[in-house]
Amino acid sequence: MTVLHLALAQMTVRAGDVAANLVAAGRLLAEAMAATAGAGVDLVILPELWATGYDWPVIHTHAAPLGEGLWLDMAGLARAHGVHLLGSLPLAAGGRVYNAAVLFDPAGAPVAQYRKTHLFGPMDEPAHFAAGDALPVFDLPWGRTALALCYDLRFPEQFRAYAAAGATVVLLCAQWPVRRIAHWDVLLQARGIENQCVVAACNALGEAMGNPMVGHSAVYGPWGETLAHAGETESVAVARVDLASVMQARAAFPFLADAGW
């Protein structure tokens, strides 16, 4: 695959209203497929905790192992639309609950999983989630890919570790508040520039524990160029990503090599 067509499904996440969120996700997936009917879409990204929002009783009620509960619903959405689908949900594993991003392939099979490493104290994440302890990179049809979740964006060493492991694309799901949205825009672009990679991030709309969110889902290229931006309304942003641009950028300005890679 030399070109990746991806869509950011910037949805209003209604905290605690799983039924409404499932309907919204399905509607936006249908919109994404319709918007790319000519070229086709390879990947759709949903926000962080897209089905539960930050409602702790609901999160614990719906925490499930892969292959059960909301994970089955998400796999069904990927299969129904014939597309790779990424989003985060509460994962029950080993007696713990994780905020996990999972990528399903068009057949509904999980092909990549990441457990949030940096838990956000102001949202009480450390009291409810266990922290992940791995930074995996995956070989996917469009190339070496890594996953991240919201607060991880503030930790450049995580993204540098991904680049060092050969990642050319980083996909991120978030519930990032409006009060720090300027940080979001700058940090996403910076992670693309400093690691010469593609960064694609889907943020939510709605409210999380009293914190309003405003979207700004975006895709940035290895030179920091804006490939897509969703603005501040519920919408689908589509990007055409030339995957060769990453290696071209790294060859034209090889500062990563000067770091000893």
Mean pLDDT of all residues in 87-112: 98
User: Where do the domains of the chain lie?
Assistant: 3-258
Q: Which of 48, 125, 207, 234 is catalytic?
A: 48
What per-residue confidence (pLDDT) applies to 218? Answer: 98
Mean residue pLDDT of the chain comes to 96
- Under CATH, domain 3-258 is a member of which superfamily? Carbon-nitrogen hydrolase (3.60.110.10)
Q: Which amino acid is at 237?
A: A
Q: Please, which pLDDT band fits residue 179 given cuts at 50, 70 and 90?
A: very high
**For the segment 63-86, what is each residue's pLDDT rounded down to a tens digit?**
999 999 999 999 999 999 999 999
Contact criterion met (CB below 8 Å) for 151 and 177 = no
Would you say residue 261 has pLDDT above 70?
no
Would you say residue 36 has pLDDT above 90?
no
**For the segment 194-252, what is each residue's pLDDT rounded down to a tens digit?**
999 999 999 999 999 999 999 999 999 999 999 999 999 999 999 999 999 999 999 99
Taking the C-alpha atoms of residue 191 and residue 198, their distance in angstroms, rounded to an integer, is: 9
Q: Rg (Cα) of the chain, in Å, rounded? A: 17
Q: Which of 31, 68, 125, 150 is catalytic?
A: 150
Q: Answer yes or no: 116 catalytic.
A: yes
Helices 181-195, 156-164: axis angle to 10 degrees equals 30
**89 SS3 class:** strand
**For the segment 123-163, what is each residue's pLDDT rounded down to a tens digit?**
999 999 999 999 999 999 999 999 999 999 999 999 999 99
Mean pLDDT of all residues in 81-104: 98
Q: Answer yes or no: 173 catalytic.
A: no
Taking the C-alpha atoms of residue 161 and residue 79, their distance in angstroms, rounded to an integer, is: 32
What per-residue confidence (pLDDT) applies to 257? Answer: 81
What per-residue confidence (pLDDT) applies to 38? Answer: 60
Most distant pair of Cα atoms in the chain: their distance? 51
Q: Which of 116, 202, 207, 234 is catalytic?
A: 116
Contact criterion met (CB below 8 Å) for 171 and 140 = no
- The total of other beta-carbon atoms located within 10 Å of residue 161's CB is 15
Contact criterion met (CB below 8 Å) for 55 and 183 = no
Give the containing element (helix H, strand E) for 208. strand 205-208
Question: Comparing C-alpha atoms, which of 32, 37, 48, 259 is closest to residue 174?
Answer: 48
Mean pLDDT of all residues in 116-126: 97
Q: Please, which pLDDT band fits residue 35 given cuts at 50, 70 and 90?
A: confident
User: At a CB cut-off of 8 Å and minimum separation 6, what does 84 contact?
Assistant: 42, 43, 44, 78, 103, 104, 105, 106, 111, 140, 141
Q: Please, which pLDDT band fits residue 258 given cuts at 50, 70 and 90?
A: confident
- In this structure, what is the dihedral angle of CA atoms 224, 228, 231, 235, given to the nearest 10 degrees? -150
Percent of the chain at pLDDT exceeding 90: 93
Q: Please, which pLDDT band fits residue 40 given cuts at 50, 70 and 90?
A: confident
Contact criterion met (CB below 8 Å) for 54 and 48 = no
Would you say residue 259 has pLDDT above 80?
no
